[in-house]
Every structure is written in C-alpha cells, then in structure tokens.
C-alpha cells in the first residue's frame, strides 16, 4: 500500500481538512505565512573558512615549525 500525502476525512474533522488545504494552497495567506515561518526558523549553514581562503598557505607549509616556539 502506497503512502499518500494529505489527510483522510475518515480520521479528521472538516475544520482540520480545511486548515490542511489552506496551508498547502499557494493562493492562501496561511500558505505564505507557513513558508515565511519555515524560512525564518530554519538554521542557516555556517560558512567554513579554510587557511587558503584568507591567507596564502606557502609560509605555513615551507617555514620552520621551530621558529614559532
């Protein structure tokens, strides 16, 4: 049996069916409010910085490691 998206009228009230339909219809304010809420609360990926991104790595690779002691 395949899973389907949506809600069943056998297990939900008419109000619940209407609310679900409003939240999944792009022509409804509830849909756009839900989309904006998801966008505002989602975690943003942090940018990773690497040594080569902001400084050349030549001095690090070819220098004497004992100079920094």
For 27, the token pair is 């022509």
d(C-alpha 1, C-alpha 19), whole Å: 26
Ramachandran category for residue 35: left, alpha or beta (phi over 0 → left; psi -120 to 50 → alpha): alpha
**At CA 57, angle to CA 56 and CA 60, rounded to 5?**
130
Domain range summary for the chain, segments of one domain joined by +: 14-61
Q: pTM for this structure? A: 0.49
What tens digit of pLDDT does each residue of 27-65 get?
Answer: 999 899 989 998 888 877 666 655 555 555 565 666 666
What tens digit of pLDDT does each residue of 3-18 get?
Answer: 677 788 889 999 999 9
Give me the DSSP letters along 9-65: TTTS-HHHHHHHHHHT-TTSHHHHHHHHHHHHHSPPPPPP--HHHHS-SHHHHHS-G
């Amino acid at each position: 049996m395949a899973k389907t998206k949506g809600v069943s009228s056998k297990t939900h009230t008419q109000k619940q069916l209407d609310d679900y339909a409003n939240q999944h219809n792009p022509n409804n304010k509830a849909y756009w409010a839900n989309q904006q809420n998801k966008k505002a609360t989602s975690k943003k990926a942090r940018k990773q910085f690497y040594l080569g991104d902001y400084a050349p790595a030549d001095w690090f690779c070819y220098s004497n490691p004992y100079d920094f002691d």
